[in-house]
Structure 1
Amino acid sequence: MAHIMVVEDSRTQRHLIAHWLKAQSFTVTAVGNGLDALKKVRQELPDIIILDVVMPHLNGYEVCRFLKTNRRTQGIYVILCSTQDTLSDRTQGLEQGADAYLCKPFKPQVLLHTIQNLLATGTSI
């Protein structure tokens, strides 16, 4: 089963998303900020990173840009998540290299569908 990293500064959101994913038999690593995510990625290469946009230290856009411009990590699928849902926000996220963009709050089924599409075809919904 795929390995998914959840990067979310809200402890409640982080645990909730990790719980949903574990219930679907995914291997899950959860961290609370972008710096910790980059440290963890050096140790273990997940298949997908679910990445909050607004976080302290490094925001999701910065982490995504780093991952997608680094040869070792550019193949990791990145799903950006934000409460901002304008066309401009989505466009900015995709311009950073994200493979998908979800607006919070999202339902578990939407997240799972996005993950399944990325793993199966390499494209988001």
Structure 2
Amino acid sequence: MSSVLVVDDSPMLREMISGLLTKTGWTVSVAQDGFEAKAKIAAELPDLVVLDVVMPNMNGYELCRWIKNNEATENILVVLCSSKGEEFDRYWGIKQGADAYVIKPFRPGELLDTVKALLAGKAA
């Protein structure tokens, strides 16, 4: 069973995304910012991180770079999930190492399809 870490500073979005992923059968943990996420990732490597971009203390781009530039965590899949929906935002997110970029507000099926496809590719 795959494990997913949901990182978002909005309690409502953390709960909504984690509930959606849990119903699909994945093990889900949550973090409210990049610092808490780093500690959780260091303690137990998730298979995938769903990561908000705009957060206090450490934004999603910074955490994504940390994940992808660290030898122990570089294989963790990252889905940036943000209200920053311009083409440049998507480009910049992928340039930081993200495996996918989903724009808020999103349809639940869109996020699930993205996560499923990435995890299926990792298992292959």
Q: TM-score, normalised by structure 2?
A: 0.96
- Indicate the percent of aligned positions where both proteins have the same amino acid: 46
Letter paired with 1:76: I
| CA distance in 2: counterparts of 1:18 and 1:32, whole angstroms | 12
Letter paired with 2:70: N
| CA distance in 2: counterparts of 1:55 and 1:46, whole angstroms | 20
1:121: Cα distance to partner? 2.1
Residue 23 of structure 2 is aligned to residue 23 of structure 1: yes
| CA distance in 2: counterparts of 1:61 and 1:104, whole angstroms | 16
Q: TM-score, normalised by structure 1?
A: 0.95
Task: Give the aligned length.
Answer: 122
Residue 124 of structure 2 is aligned to residue 115 of structure 1: no
User: How big is the alpha-carbon RMSD for the aligned residues of Structure 1 and Structure 2?
Assistant: 0.7
Long gaps (5+) in structure 1: none
Residue 95 of structure 2 is aligned to residue 95 of structure 1: yes
| CA distance in 1: counterparts of 2:9 and 2:93, whole angstroms | 18
Query: Matched residue of 2:46: which SS?
Result: coil
| Residues 75-125 of structure 1: per-residue CA shift (max 9 Å, x gap) | 000000111111100000000000000000111111110011111225xxx
Quote the residue 2:34 is aligned against.
34
Structure 1 segments, 4+ long, off by >3 Å, are none
